[in-house]
Amino acid sequence: MANSKKTFWPYGIVLSIIACVIACVATIIISLDYPVYMDDRYMQKYQSVDHNINEIKSSQREFERKFSVKLLQNELKLNEPNSIKIAVTNLENGLDKPKFTMFLTRPDSSKYDIDLNASYENDILKTQNFTPNLVGRWQLVLKLQDKNSTGFYKFELFSGE
């Protein structure tokens, strides 16, 4: 007696292997079109941040105990000169003004980064004029350092017509 019943499981195995290969190729193609951008909140490579995060957080708490930092406006005018003002207030007497590093960036790309120069006017950190050329969301990344501590800040800004 011949077995006339057909089984399809060998076809299922072959089709699932082909589907896995197609899924792997699609994943590679999509990842090449949409690369991951590094988070630059701490102005360091992520390996360094990962290795030293406890020291970074401790230094941040120490900085926040000594200084108060506040963004004074969060709107930018498109294709016009803008200046950002940040209030940096000493909470203890006798402290020097902290050194700073700052830049303006888009949230998902480092392609449009703008390095900002600034100076202190009393307790206000004021940037030189710059001109954003894109509508939408921007982030101001700020690093403030005094002798023993460092503060990292990221502020959301919006540019419109």
What CATH number corresponds to the domain at position 74? 2.60.40.10
Does residue 5 lie within any of the structural domains?
A: no
Does residue 59 lie within any of the structural domains?
A: yes
Nearest 5°: the CA angle 155, 64, 141 is 25
Condensed to tens digits (0 to 9), the pLDDT of residues 120-131 reads 988 899 999 888
Does residue 14 lie within any of the structural domains?
A: no
Does residue 126 lie within any of the structural domains?
A: yes
Does residue 12 lie within any of the structural domains?
A: no
Does residue 102 lie within any of the structural domains?
A: yes
Q: Maximum Cα–Cα distance for the chain, whole Å?
A: 101
Q: What is the pTM of this model?
A: 0.74
Q: Is the pLDDT of residue 112 over 90?
A: no
Does residue 71 lie within any of the structural domains?
A: yes
Range of the domain at 70: 46-160
Does residue 1 lie within any of the structural domains?
A: no
Number of domains in the chain: 1
Question: Residue 153's pLDDT band (boundaries 50, 70, 90)?
Answer: very high
